[in-house]
Chain A
Amino acid sequence: MELLSGAEMLIRSLKDQGVEYIYGYPGGAALHIYDALFRQDDVKHILVRHEQAATHMADGYARATGEPGVVLVTSGPGATNTITGIATASMDSIPMVVLCGQVASHLIGEDAFQETDMIGVSRPIVKHNMTVRHPSEIPQLVKKAFYLAKSGRPGPVVIDIPKDMTAPNGRFEYEYPEKVSMRSYNPAVRGHAGQIRRAVDMMMNARRPVIYAGGGVVLGKASQQLTDLAHELGFPVTNTIMGLGGFPATDPQSLGWLGMHGSYESNMAMHHSDLILAIGARFDDRVTNATDKFCPGARIVHVDIDPASISKTVQADVPIVGPVDSVLEEMRSLVRESEEQPDQEALGAWWKQIREWGQYRSRYHYEQNGDNIMPQEAIQALYRVTKGDAYVTSDVGQHQMFAAQFYPFDKPNRWINSGGLGTMGFGFPAAMGIKLHMPEQEVVCVTGEGSIQMNIQELSTCKQYHLPVKIINLNNQALGMVKQWQDMNYESRYAHSYMESLPNFEKLFEAYGHVAFTVTRREDLEPVLEKAFAMKDQLVFVDIYVDPYEHVYPMQVAGGSMKDMWLSKTERV
C-alpha cells in the first residue's frame, strides 16, 4: 500500500472522490495542504480574493450540478470568513465540504495564533462537523463528509484539520474507502407505502387540488417525475422560489411561484384549495404568511426526506418521509392503477376559477413609469437575449424577485439564489463557480448596486481564471428592497437605504480588466444586452439604470392569510 502524509492523503482523497476543482485561500495552518496541492495536477485550486466567495463558488457549482462543492481555507480568519457561505448553504440544503486548517493539536485551547474554535462556531449551521484526530483517519473522514453532505437532506460539512495532522514527515498507508456506513445515520430511501396510498386516495377525491413543489424537487432530481405526475392528474402546480424549474414555468399547468411575492393566481389557488400536495417544500414563513390563517379548507399531504420539515410550521394530514423521486414514482404507479379518477367536472371548474385569477392579475403584470426602464422589462429583455436558457444566479433584493418573476425557468438547476438566508453577495461568486465547470453555458448574475459590492473583489479572480460571466445590474440607486419596506411601513423615511456614492462602475470593471456598459434609455436595452452576450470571452457588466420608485408586487400583507396581498401601491385585496 502507498504511504502518504496527511496532507497528501487529503488531496488524494479528494481526487478519488472525483473532485476536480476546489476553491480556497491559503494561510499558515493550511500550508502543508497547499504544498501537497502544489505537487500534483489532478485537483485544481481556484484562488479567490475572500473566503466567503470560495463558499459561494462551491455553492453555485453544487446548485447547478447536485455535487458537493469543496472549499479549503486556513484557520482563524480564513475559517470565520466562510461562515456566511456555510450558513447560506445550510439554509438551502446545499451539499458542501469545507476543509479548514486549525492550529496544531497541542496548541488548541491556548488562544494560539489564528486559533478559532471552528467546530463550535460552525456547529449551528452545518449538517455535521468533525475534527481530524489522527492523520490516518483522513480518507475515512473525507468519505464520510461527502456522504453526509450529499445524502438525505443535503447540507454543508466542515472538517477541522489541525496542522500536525498534515505534517509532511508522517507517513501512513493510504486507501480510499469505497463506502461508509454509520449506525446513527440512515436517511429514508422510500416513503411509507400505506401513507402514499392514503395520499393518492385523497388526490383522487380532491376537487380543488394544488401541487406546491419546493427546492426538494430540484435537490432530489425529481422534476421529471413531478412533471409527469402533474400532467397525468391535470393538477395546477405552484413552485417555491427554491423550486423554480422543478416544474416548467411555461407549462400551461404552472401558476408561477407562491408566497410573499408570488403570483396572485398561486396564492389565491393555495388559499382556496381543498388539497395541498407539498413536495420537497418546507412551509417557510415567506410562503405561508400567518400560519393560523393558512389555507383554511385544505388538507395537506407533505412529502419530505427530513421528518423535521414535516409539521414544523403547518400541521400535515398525511406525512410522507422519503425521497421525492421514489415517492413520486410510487404515486404515479398508484394513479395509473387506480380505478378512481379525480372528478373532472370539479377540476374543470377549479381551472376556470384559476384562469380568472390569472386574468385578473397576470403574473407578468407591471406598469410603466414614463421613460424609465422598468426592472421587469430589463429581465424580460434578458430572457429574450439568452433564449430563456441561461444559468441565472441572483443576489438578494428587488432584483432577485424581478428575476424570479420575469425569467420563467423551464429546467431545474438553472435558477441559483440564496432563498433561506438571503445573502447579498452570493450571486456573483455563485455564477463564477458555475461558469468554471460549464464554460460552454451562458451564466448570468442578476444583481443590484448594493449586492454586487459585497463580493466585487472577485473580479480579480475572474481575470486570473478567465471566467466570462455576465453581470446584469438593475441599478435603482438604492437598497431597493429595504427602501420598499420603508415606503410601506416607515412613511418613506429612508434610513440608510440609498447609496450616496456609487463607484464609476465602467472604470472599476476596466481596472480589473473587464468590460462594462451603461444603459439609461429603453431603446438601448436589448441592443446592449445583445452586444454583451456576443462577447463570449469577456466578463461584461451591464449597468441598467431602472426606475428608482418601483416596488415588487404582489406582496402579501403581513399577518394575513395567503390571499391577502398588495397588488400595487394602491390596490389591496
Chain B
Amino acid sequence: MRRIISILMENEPGALSRVVGLFSQRNYNIESLAVAPTEDPTLSRLTLTTEGSDKVIEQITKQLNKLIEVVKLVDLTEGSHVERELMLIKLRATGAQRAEIKRTVDIFRGQIVDVTSTVYTVQLTGDGEKLDAFIQAVGTMGVLEVVRSGVSGIARGEKVLSL
C-alpha cells in the first residue's frame, strides 16, 4: 500500500542523507520526497511517499525513528489528511493549441505562469492523480518538460505534528 510518511527532523547537514541512505541500505523504496525548513528554523519537515506491506511500513517507521536526527514522524495515510503536489509543466503552444491549452488549464484550475510565442509554462497543484490527469489531458499537445515537487501532506483537523 502507498503511504505518506511525514517527518520532523533536526535541520542539520547530513540529516537528509541519513534518511535517504536508510532507504537504499534496507532495500525500501522512495517514490517521492519533499523537504524544507519549518517555521522553527532548527527543524525540517520531510514528506516521503513509499510503498510496502504493513510489515515493511512498520519497519520503515521504526528504523526512521531510530535515526538520531529524526524528532517525530507520522504516517499520514493512517488518518484523514490533505495531500498536495506542485507541478510546473512546459507545453508547446502554437496556433489553435494555445486556446485549447488555456481551456484545459482553466478546467484543472491551473495557472499559466510564463508565456512565449510558442510555449506556455503551467503551474498546477493537487494530488498526484490530478497532476497525472492533466498530463494525460494535454498529452497530445506536446509536453516539453515536467517538474513535480513530490508530495507534501498534512493531517486534517486538530491533529498537528510538532514538538
B18 at the interface (CB under 8 A from A): yes
For residue B13, which residues in chain A have a CB less than 8 angstroms away from its CB? 131
For residue B51, which residues in chain A have a CB less than 8 angstroms away from its CB? none
A220 to B15, CA, bound (A): 29
CB-nearest residue of chain A to B10: A184
Size bracket of the A interface = 20 to 34
CB-nearest residue of chain B to A308: B62
Over the window 279-312 of chain A, the binary record of Cβ atoms lying under 8 Å from chain B Cβ atoms (1 yes, 0 no) is 0000000000000000000000000001110011
For residue B69, which residues in chain A have a CB less than 8 angstroms away from its CB? 184
A129 to B9, CA, bound (A): 16
A307 to B65, CA, bound (A): 9
Contact in complex: B17, A306 (CB < 8 Å): no
For residue A306, which residues in chain B have a CB less than 8 angstroms away from its CB? 66
A534 at the interface (CB under 8 A from B): no
A127 to B66, CA, bound (A): 9
A148 at the interface (CB under 8 A from B): yes
- Chain A residues numbered 287-340 whose CB sits less than 8 Å from any CB in chain B: 306-308, 311-312, 315
A117 to B158, CA, bound (A): 43
Q: How far is the CB of A40 from chain B (nearest CB, A)?
A: 31
A268 to B63, CA, bound (A): 33
For residue B71, which residues in chain A have a CB less than 8 angstroms away from its CB? 183-184
Among A128, A185, A308, which residue has its beta carbon within 8 angstroms of that of B59? A308
Over the window 1-27 of chain B, the binary record of Cβ atoms lying under 8 Å from chain A Cβ atoms (1 yes, 0 no) is 000000001100110011001000100
A312 to B63, CA, bound (A): 10
A182 to B17, CA, bound (A): 20
For residue A44, which residues in chain B have a CB less than 8 angstroms away from its CB? none
For residue A124, which residues in chain B have a CB less than 8 angstroms away from its CB? 21, 25
B163 at the interface (CB under 8 A from A): yes
- Chain A residues numbered 114-164 whose CB sits less than 8 Å from any CB in chain B: 119-120, 123-124, 127-131, 148
Contact in complex: A308, B68 (CB < 8 Å): no
Q: How far is the CB of B68 from chain A (nearest CB, A)?
A: 5
A127 to B63, CA, bound (A): 11
Contact A120 B62, CB 8 Å, known A128-B68, A182-B68: no
Q: How many residues of B contact A (CB 8 A)?
A: 20
Q: How far is the CB of A152 from chain B (nearest CB, A)?
A: 9
Among A119, A184, A311, which residue has its beta carbon within 8 angstroms of that of B68? A184
Contact in complex: A119, B14 (CB < 8 Å): yes
A488 to B25, CA, bound (A): 32
B89 at the interface (CB under 8 A from A): no
Contact in complex: B59, A312 (CB < 8 Å): yes
Q: How far is the CB of A107 from chain B (nearest CB, A)?
A: 17
Q: How far is the CB of B27 from chain A (nearest CB, A)?
A: 12
Contact in complex: B70, A123 (CB < 8 Å): no
For residue B159, which residues in chain A have a CB less than 8 angstroms away from its CB? none
CB-nearest residue of chain B to A127: B68
For residue A184, which residues in chain B have a CB less than 8 angstroms away from its CB? 9-10, 68-71
Contact in complex: A308, B18 (CB < 8 Å): no
For residue A129, which residues in chain B have a CB less than 8 angstroms away from its CB? 14
B132 at the interface (CB under 8 A from A): no
Among A123, A185, A311, which residue has its beta carbon within 8 angstroms of that of B18? A123
Q: How far is the CB of B154 from chain A (nearest CB, A)?
A: 21
For residue A119, which residues in chain B have a CB less than 8 angstroms away from its CB? 14
A120 to B17, CA, bound (A): 9
Q: How far is the CB of B66 from chain A (nearest CB, A)?
A: 6
Q: How far is the CB of A87 from chain B (nearest CB, A)?
A: 12
For residue A308, which residues in chain B have a CB less than 8 angstroms away from its CB? 59, 62-63, 65-66
A315 to B9, CA, bound (A): 29
Over the window 88-123 of chain B, the binary record of Cβ atoms lying under 8 Å from chain A Cβ atoms (1 yes, 0 no) is 000000000000000000000000000000000000
For residue A183, which residues in chain B have a CB less than 8 angstroms away from its CB? 71, 163
For residue B25, which residues in chain A have a CB less than 8 angstroms away from its CB? 124
A307 to B73, CA, bound (A): 15
For residue B14, which residues in chain A have a CB less than 8 angstroms away from its CB? 119, 129-131
For residue A123, which residues in chain B have a CB less than 8 angstroms away from its CB? 17-18, 21
B31 at the interface (CB under 8 A from A): no
Contact in complex: A185, B63 (CB < 8 Å): no
CB-nearest residue of chain B to A187: B66
Q: How far is the CB of B153 from chain A (nearest CB, A)?
A: 21
For residue A120, which residues in chain B have a CB less than 8 angstroms away from its CB? 17
Contact in complex: B68, A148 (CB < 8 Å): yes
For residue A312, which residues in chain B have a CB less than 8 angstroms away from its CB? 59
CB-nearest residue of chain B to A312: B59
Contact in complex: A311, B163 (CB < 8 Å): no
A119 to B21, CA, bound (A): 12
Which of B17, B58, B62, B70 has its CB near the most chain A CB atoms (within 10 A)? Answer: B62
Q: How far is the CB of A526 from chain B (nearest CB, A)?
A: 48
For residue B17, which residues in chain A have a CB less than 8 angstroms away from its CB? 120, 123
Nearest 3 interchain pairs by C-beta: A308-B62, A184-B71, A128-B68
B-binding residues in A (CB < 8 A): 119-120, 123-124, 127-131, 148, 182-185, 306-308, 311-312, 315
21 intermolecular pairs with C-beta atoms under 8 Å apart: A123-B17, A127-B68, A129-B14, A131-B13, A131-B14, A148-B68, A184-B9, A184-B68, A184-B70, A184-B71, A185-B68, A306-B66, A307-B65, A308-B59, A308-B63, A308-B65, A308-B66, A311-B55, A311-B58, A312-B59, A315-B55
With A307-B62, A308-B63 known, 13 other A-B pairs at CB within 8 A are A123-B17, A123-B21, A124-B21, A130-B14, A148-B68, A184-B9, A184-B68, A184-B71, A185-B68, A306-B66, A308-B62, A308-B65, A311-B58
